Amino acid sequence: MGPWDVEQVLGLAPDPASAKAAQAQARTTKWSETGSSERAVWGLCQGSGKQPYQTAVDLTGPAYKCSCPSRKFPCKHALGLLLRWATGEVGPGDEPEWVKSWVDQRAARPERKPGEVADPIAAQQRASRRADRVSAGMAELASWLDDQVRQGLGGFDQRAYSELSRLAARMVDAQAPGVAGAVRRAAGVVGRGHGWPGELLEELSLIHLTVAAHGRLADLPPSLADTVQSRIGWTVETARVLAEGEKVEDDWLVLGRVIEPDERLTVRRLWLRGATTGRLGLILTFAAAGRPLDPLPARPGEYVPGELSYYPGVLPMRALLTQTAPRLPAPRPTGFTAQQALASYVESVAADPWNERWPLVLQDVRPARYGEGWALVDANGDGLEILPGYFDPWKLLAVSGGDPLTVAGEWNRAGFRPMTCWHGERPVIL
Amino acid sequence: MRGWDGLVSSALLGTDRRPAHFEELPEHIQERLGDGGLLDAAALATVYKRAGRKPLRDLGPLPAAPGQDRPLPRPVAIRRLAAMLGGFQSTALGEWLRAADARGWDVPPEHLPALADFARNRAEYRPLVVRAAGRRASWLADLNPEWRFLHAAVAESNNPELWTHGNALQRRTWLRMSRQQNPAAALEALREVWPTESAATRADFLGLLADGLSQQDEEFLESALDDRSKEVRRIAARLLARVQGSQYGERMAQRMWSHLVVSQGVLAVDLPKRLSAAMERDGIDSQNPEGIGKRAWWFLQIVAATPLSVMDLGWLELPVEGCAPEVLQAAWAEAAVREGSVEWARELLRANASTGSRSPAELLRVLPPEEWVRAVPALREHMDLAELVGGLPVPWPASLGSMILDQLAKVGTARGWARLASIAARAVPADVLNHPITREPAGEEDTWRRRLVETLIFRREMYEELS
- A176 and A91 together in one domain: no
- With vertex at residue A205, the alpha carbon angle to CA A200 and CA A209, rounded to the nearest 5 degrees, is 150
A242 lies in the same domain as A227: no
Tens of pLDDT, residues B410-462: 888 888 898 999 999 999 999 999 898 888 877 777 789 888 999 999 999 99
A29-79 confidence digits (pLDDT tens)? 788 888 988 888 999 988 777 788 889 998 877 788 888 887 777 888 888
**How far apart are alpha carbons A39 and B443 in whole angstroms?**
31
d(CA A127, CA A130): 5
CA A29/CA B440 separation, integer angstroms: 9
* Mean pLDDT for the stretch of residues B389-417: 89
A249 and A228 share a domain? no
How high does pLDDT run on average in chain A? 87
Dist CA B109 CA B71 (whole Å): 11
pLDDT digit string, tens, across residues A202-228: 999 999 999 999 999 989 999 999 999
Distant-in-sequence, close-in-space partners of B273: CB < 8 Å, separation ≥ 6: B295
* Per-residue pLDDT reduced to its tens digit, A227-259: 999 999 888 888 889 988 999 999 999 999 999
Residue A269 lies in a domain: yes
Identify the domain boundary among A232, A252, A281.
A232
Q: Do A150 and B46 touch (CB under 8 A)?
A: no
Arithmetic mean of pLDDT, A90-100: 88
* Chain A residues in contact with B79 (beta carbon < 8 A): 6, 86-88
Q: Classify residue A119: in a domain, yes or no.
A: no
pLDDT recorded at residue A158: 64
Taking residue B113's Cβ as centre, other Cβ atoms within 10 Å add up to 22
CB atoms within 10 A of CB A16: 9
Min mean pLDDT across A80-84, B234-238, B284-288 is at: A80-84
Q: Please give the mean pLDDT across all residues of chain B.
A: 90
Is the pLDDT score of B299 beyond 90? yes
What pLDDT, on the 0 to 100 scale, is given for residue A157?
65
> Is residue A100 located within the same domain as residue A135?
no
E strand or H helix that includes residue A35: strand A31-36
Residue A391 phi/psi, 5° resolution? -85, 130
Question: Taking 60 as the threshold, does the pLDDT of residue B125 lie above it?
Answer: yes
According to the model, what pLDDT value does residue B444 have? 72
Kindly report, residue by residue over A278-334, the tens digit of the pLDDT: 999 999 998 887 788 888 999 999 999 999 999 999 999 999 999 999 999 999 999
Q: Please, what is the angle between helix B4-13 and helix A120-151, to 10°?
A: 90
**Min distance A288 CA to chain B CA atoms (Å):** 24
Print the domain residue range for A207.
124-232
The Cα A274–Cα A307 span in angstroms is: 10
DSSP A356-381: --EEEEEEEEEEEEETTEEEEE-TTS
Q: Which of B11, B47, B58 is facing A349, going by the closest CB pair? A: B47
Amino acid at B360: P
pLDDT bracket for residue B87 (50, 70, 90):
confident
DSSP, residue by residue, A117-155 = -S-HHHHHHHHHHHHHHHHHHHHHHHHHHHHHHHH-STT
Contact B12 A47 (CB under 8 A): no
Residue at A61 is within a domain: yes
Q: Of A54, A74, A108, at which residue does a domain stop? A: A108
- Per-residue model confidence as pLDDT tens digits over B347-378: 998 888 888 888 888 999 999 998 998 888 87
> Number of structural domains, chain A?
4
Identify any residues that bridge with A40 across adjacent strands, giving them in sequence order.
A58
CA B110 centroid distance within chain = 24
Please indicate, yes or no, if residue A116 is contained in any of the structural domains: no
Residues A421 and A392 in one domain: yes
- Of B55, B60, B135, Cβ closest to residue A338: B55
User: Do A134 and A83 reside in the same domain of the chain?
Assistant: no
* CATH number for position A308: 2.40.50
- What whole-number distance in Å separates Cα of residue B231 and Cα of residue B239? 12
For A402, which of B4, B64, B82 is closest by C-beta distance?
B64
The phi and psi torsions of B96 (rounded to 5 degrees) equal -60, -45
In a 10 Å sphere around its CB, with 0-12 CB exposed, 13-18 middle and 19+ buried, how is residue A108 labelled?
A: exposed
Is the per-residue pLDDT at B55 higher than 70? yes
Residue A1 has what pLDDT? 46
Burial class (CB in 10 A: 0-12, 13-18, 19+), A372: exposed
Q: How far is CA B360 from the centre of its chain?
A: 23
Residues linked to residue A362 through DSSP beta bridges, in sequence order = A336, A407
- Interacting residues of A347 by C-beta distance below 8 A, sequence separation 6+: none
Report the amino acid identity of residue B99.
A
Of A87, A148, A345, the CB nearest to B80: A87
Cβ–Cβ gap B61/A367 under 8 Å: yes
A298: Cα separation from own chain's centroid: 13
Q: Is residue A114 part of a domain?
A: no
Higher pLDDT, B446 or B194: B194
CB distance from B105 to chain A under 8 Å?
no
Question: Chain B: nearest CA to A60, how far in angstroms?
Answer: 23
A359, A367 contact by CB (below 8 A): no
Q: Is A232:A134 a contact under the CB 8 Å cutoff?
A: yes
Contacts by A370-377, CB closer than 8 A, 24 or more apart: A370/B56, A370/B59, A375/B56, A375/B59, A376/A338, A376/A407, A376/A416, A376/A418, A377/A338, A377/B56, A377/B59, A377/B61
Shared domain for A299 and A346, answered yes or no, is no
Minimal CA–CA distance to B386: which of B404, B366, B402, B398?
Answer: B404
Residues 64-103 of A with CB under 8 A from B: 86-89
Determine the distance in angstroms separating the CA of B59 from the nearest CA of chain A, rounded to an integer: 6
- Are the beta carbons of B228 and B286 closer than 8 angstroms? no
Contacts of A153 in chain B (CB under 8 A): 11-12, 14
Gyration radius of chain B's alpha carbons: 34
Interacting residues of B80 by C-beta distance below 8 A, sequence separation 6+: A87, B96, B461, B462, B465
Asked if residues A175 and A133 have their Cβ atoms less than 8 Å apart, the reply is yes
Q: Which of A297, A329, A361 is the last residue of a domain?
A: A329
pLDDT class for B184, splitting at 50, 70, 90?
very high
- Considering the domain architecture, whether residues A32 and A103 belong to the same structural domain is answered as yes
CA A61 to chain centroid, in Å, comes to 18
A12 and A82 assigned to the same domain: yes
Cβ of A206 and B16 within 8 Å? Answer: no
Mutate to test the interface with B, among A148, A190, A201, A204 (most CBs of B within 10 A): A201
A425 CB-contact burial (10 Å; exposed 0-12 / middle 13-18 / buried 19+) = exposed
In a domain, A421, yes or no: yes
Stronger pLDDT, A399 or B443, i.e. the higher one: A399
The answer for B 420-439 residues in CB contact with A (under 8 A) is 438
Given CB atoms, is A106 within the 8 Å cutoff of chain B? no
Q: Which of residues 174-213 of A touch B (CB under 8 A)?
A: 197-198, 201-202, 204-206, 208-209, 212
Task: Inform me whether the pLDDT recorded for A11 exceeds 80.
Answer: no
Q: Do residues A188 and A246 share a domain?
A: no
Distance CA B402, CA B389 (A): 13
Q: Which of B56, B72, B135 sits opposite A401 (nearest CB)?
A: B135
pLDDT band at A174 (very low <50, low <70, confident <90, very high): confident
Same domain, A34 and A92: yes
Cβ–Cβ gap A23/B438 under 8 Å: no
The Cα–Cα gap between B84 and B91 comes to: 8
What is the pLDDT, as a whole number, of residue A19?
74
d(CA B61, CA B63): 6
pLDDT tens by residue, B156-179: 546 777 788 888 888 888 898 889
Cβ-Cβ contacts under 8 Å for A410 (sequence gap 6 or more) = A256, A258, A269, A271, A357, A358, A359, A360, A416, A417, A419
pLDDT of B140: 92
Please tell me whether residues A221 and A251 are part of one structural domain.
Answer: no
A340/A304 Cα distance (integer angstroms): 26
Residue A118, domain member (yes or no):
no
The pLDDT value given to residue B200: 94
DSSP secondary structure code for residue A94 in this structure: P
Q: What are the beta bridge partners of residue A394? A: none
Region for B234 from its dihedrals, namely left if φ exceeds 0, alpha if ψ lies in -120 to 50, beta otherwise? alpha
For residue A300, being part of any structural domain is answered with yes
Pick from A337, A419, A333: nearest CA to A378 = A337
How far off is chain B from A202, nearest CA to CA, in Å? Answer: 6
Distance from CA of A128 to the nearest CA of B (A): 29
